Copies of this chain bind each other. A is one copy, B any other.
Amino acid sequence: MNDLLVEFKVNTRIRPCSAHAFELNAGDELVVVDPQGQQVSDLVAFAKSDVREYLSSGRTLDYASKLWLSTGDLLYSNRSAPMFTILEDTCGRHDFTLAPCSREMFETIYGEKEERPGCEGNLEKVLEKYGIDRDCIPTAFNVFMNVGIDPSTGAIAVLPPLSKPGDFIRFKAEMDLVVGLTACSAGQSNNFSYKPIDFRIESPA
């Protein structure tokens, strides 16, 4: 009967321009999938035991000694504790320098007047129940975001993501976590089309 067994991997879909929040136990694996390609997903994380401990860009980049993280790299909290290990990564390019898109960012950079909440507003809404408000939302780990750097001037170019349909990144939680995850709402980051993001949590047997 063994050859009739099928491993089901059920993803949860995050609709375009929205966010989900959920908890992970230490050891859980979080798989973030780009189902259609060229779609960014902002990831923020907080220690479940004390949400003032958060996933820190500045700490992580310092310890990694590189801007672009991938398989084998650790993501650290502001208190220098490992929060995630990247176990697999079929895309290979993500960003950890730019803040989540926001209403003010859309107005300043794109001249938008619609007052869309952006990843920041969407994360604020889903994380409220954990006592995490807007001021607690740090620079996110921007899954699939493709930021080019000019090494002579430091100029940043937000380019179309390198992710193809089905590309994924697998994180292992190194502590009990509260996580916020988005399907990003910023035009330039997503090659100007707003697409969904899928994720699933795999717990060790």
Bound Cα distance A140, B65 (Å):
17
Segment at the interface with B among A8-16, A25-33, A99-107, A175-183: A99-107
Residues of A at the B interface (CB closer than 8 Å) are 52-53, 56-59, 61-68, 78-80, 97-100, 102, 104-105, 108-109, 134-135, 138-140, 148-151, 153-157
**B58 pairs with A97, CB closer than 8 A:** yes
**A138 pairs with B58, CB closer than 8 A:** yes
- How far does the Cβ of A61 sit from chain B's closest Cβ, in whole Å? 6
Which chain B residues lie closer than 8 Å to A57 at the CB level?
57-58, 97, 139
In-complex Cβ contact of A109 among B63, B67, B104, B140 (8 A): B63
**B98 pairs with A61, CB closer than 8 A:** yes
For this chain, the copies found in one complex come to 2
**A154 pairs with B66, CB closer than 8 A:** yes
Which chain B residues lie closer than 8 Å to A151 at the CB level?
148-151
Which chain B residues lie closer than 8 Å to A108 at the CB level?
63, 80
Bound Cα distance A108, B66 (Å):
16
Which chain B residues lie closer than 8 Å to A80 at the CB level?
102, 104-105, 108
Q: What are 17 pairs between A and B in contact, CB < 8 Å?
A: A52-B135, A57-B58, A58-B140, A61-B97, A61-B98, A61-B99, A62-B98, A62-B105, A63-B105, A66-B155, A66-B156, A67-B97, A67-B149, A67-B155, A68-B153, A79-B134, A149-B154
